[in-house]
Amino acid sequence: MSKLAACPCRIAWIALALMPAAQAIGDEAGCTVERARVDAAGIATYTAQCRWPVAPGLVAEIVAEPKLIAAASSSLAESTRLGDGRVLNVHSVGWPIDDRQSTIVTEKTPLPDGGLVLTYTLAPEQAPLGAGRVQVLRDDGRWEIRGDGDGGTQLHYEQTYDAGGSLPVSLVQRTVRASIEESLAELRAAAEESGRRAAARER
């Protein structure tokens, strides 16, 4: 979900309803994001293809570590690995939208070419909700990170997300696209900054 300015819910909903719902939503930070499919409940699956001039290891390091990806994402208020390996995420867009909470399980698969696939889905057992939070009903995704042959990254990302709560599904789904674009831009910026810090240490 994209950030909403502090405003009455009615105004926020009107603004959401006026957002375009095109299938392809253009290029942002070296990525093309598309709505791949929509299920019977109106929940969309989005895919992103990115090519970035940053080493794939730097991207993989952030994606695979909850604290790093939370630090990189302005809408991910918390990402904490629990003692049993599950990860508790809190998605926050600010008033008047309640924070969303999901507990996910992840799986990492190294690729023969040195790349990485990381998948995640809602855990069978969800952690107790924090005060004022809404339980996410679906939170599935897949990261595929590979080198592009030139020292850069080719990234494929897929996400299916149902925020739950009382907001109309059609309105929430309209904001998911902008959130993906924003999060990918932030991830790229974080990986580039990590690369600059590493280069500075080597000098």
Number of neighbouring beta carbons within 10 Å of residue 39:
11
pLDDT at 17: 38
Which two tokens mark 19? 């957002």
- The arithmetic mean of pLDDT across residues 66-82, rounded, is 96
Residue 97 buriedness (CB in 10 A; 0-12 / 13-18 / 19+): buried
pLDDT at 9: 36
Q: What are the residue boundaries of the structural domains of the chain, listed by start? A: 25-202
CA 169, CA 163: separation in Å to the nearest integer?
Answer: 8
Model confidence band, residue 34 (pLDDT cutoffs 50, 70, 90): very high
pLDDT at 113: 84
CA 92, CA 152: separation in Å to the nearest integer?
Answer: 31
- Residue 86: how many CA atoms within 13 Å on its side-chain side? 15
Sequence-ordered alpha helix ranges (H) in the chain? 9-17, 56-64, 66-72, 169-202
Model confidence band, residue 178 (pLDDT cutoffs 50, 70, 90): confident
Task: Pick the more confident residue, 156 or 169.
Answer: 156
3-state SS assignment for residue 56: helix
22 has pLDDT over 80: no
pLDDT at 131: 95
Selecting from 3.30.530.20, 3.40.50.150, 3.40.50.1980, 3.30.300.30, what CATH number does the domain 25-202 have?
3.30.530.20
pLDDT at 18: 37
Q: What is the pTM of this model?
A: 0.83
3 has pLDDT over 70: no
